[in-house]
Amino acid sequence: MFVFARSGTAAIFSLYCFAAPLAAQGSAEGWVSVGAITSDELTTGYIFGDFTLRAHEGQWGAELGMFGVVGRLHETYAAATWQRDGHKVELGFPRPAYDRYAISGLTQVMPRQALESISTTRSRATSGVFTESEFLPYGFTYGSNDIAFSLHGVPDTDIVVAGAGGRKTGANWQLDFGIEAVSEADAIGWNAKAQVIRTMGNLDVGLGLYAGDANGAPHVAELFAQIPMGSHLSLAGLLRQTQGDGPLAGAKLTYAFETGLLTDIAIIGGTDNLSIAASVGYEF
């Protein structure tokens, strides 16, 4: 019942936002996919989305987005926006700043599997939506160039989430970071993460560290790599160590069509579990 109410609230807000600028320009960023996953603990089909739809007229606009799968495990974003000279403010139900950077390697290799441990790498606002009922974070986000700040509250709770995220790039490297302070039950908790990616010819190698203490999640370290194997084919690999658990190792093979269509197959194994997933998607 609540899932419908929560999605309905965001949908009504977004419908208002998108109905207002009738002559607005629009754009889309992200991807959607239809797939299936099978493992010792999870076997299901899914429709996955991680995208943002934008419409604007002059400095004013609206955005609608999604992260997760159709059903219980997803978050919907809807916000009115104002932007000028590289500065942008989003008001309503915006994506937290913490979630915009240092995207985990597991999310990139096997996104449906990553939802099962969402609290390790994502904002307290997102973790709450996925793991608690009647959780609807609202607030605002400010962004400029490669840095963002956000503030969210949750109705009928004392939870306040303040976060920041950013990116620094060089000739052959990229550094992402995120930090988040969470006020809850008269205490302050912290989430933090950092990810560095080094480009060596056609090979991208990355290291990510995640500390989701405010989410009550174990620490995670990831080592991942990606290399093209032709004009359309690419291979990604992942090693992931979660505090108090055994290591995971996996790989994903992706074929990208010139039309934006993608098809992939991924396999991830641990000490006592094996997951296989395949999907067909479209990248905006």
151-184 residue pLDDT tens: 999 999 999 999 999 999 999 999 999 999 999 9
Position 204 in a domain: no
Does residue 241 surpass a pLDDT of 70? yes
Position 135 in a domain: yes
What pLDDT does residue 166 have?
99
* Contact between 30 and 47 (Cβ < 8 Å): no
Position 43 in a domain: yes
261 vs 275: CA distance, rounded Å: 23
What pLDDT does residue 272 have?
84
For residue 122, give its domain range: 2-199
Q: Which residue has the higher pLDDT, 19 or 36?
A: 36
Mean pLDDT computed over 197-208? 98
What pLDDT does residue 283 have?
96
The pLDDT confidence band at residue 22, using thresholds 50, 70 and 90, is very low
Question: Pairing relation of β-strands 203-211 and 220-228?
Answer: antiparallel
Position 240 in a domain: no
Instruction: Using alpha carbons, select from 178, 177, 183, 142 the residue that is nearest to residue 161.
Output: 183
Distance set, CA 37 to CA 41, 108, 130 (Å): 10, 15, 19
Position 171 in a domain: yes
What pLDDT does residue 3 have?
38
pLDDT tens digits, one per residue of 71-100: 989 999 999 999 999 999 999 999 999 999
Q: What's the predicted TM-score (pTM) here?
A: 0.91
| Number of structural domains in the chain | 1
Position 239 in a domain: no
What pLDDT does residue 271 have?
84
Does residue 17 surpass a pLDDT of 80? no
**SS3 labels along the chain:** CHHHHHHHHHHHHHHHHHHCCCCCEEEEEEEEEEEEEECCCCEEEEEEEEEEEEEEECCEEEEEEEEEECCCCEEEEEEEEEEECCEEEEEEECCCHHHHCCCCHHHHHCHHHHHHHHHHCCCHHHHHHHHCCCCCCEEEEEEECCEEEEEEECCCCCCEEEEEEEEEECCCEEEEEEEEEEEECCEEEEEEEEEEEEEECCEEEEEEEEECHHHCCCCEEEEEEEEECCCCEEEEEEEEEECCCCCEEEEEEEEECCCCEEEEEEEEECCCCEEEEEEEEEEC
Position 29 in a domain: yes
What pLDDT does residue 7 have?
47
pLDDT tens digits, one per residue of 96-155: 999 999 999 999 999 999 999 999 999 999 999 999 998 999 999 999 999 999 999 999
Position 224 in a domain: no
Does residue 185 surpass a pLDDT of 50? yes
Question: Pairing relation of β-strands 187-200 and 173-184?
Answer: antiparallel
- Cα–chain-centroid distance for residue 95? 9
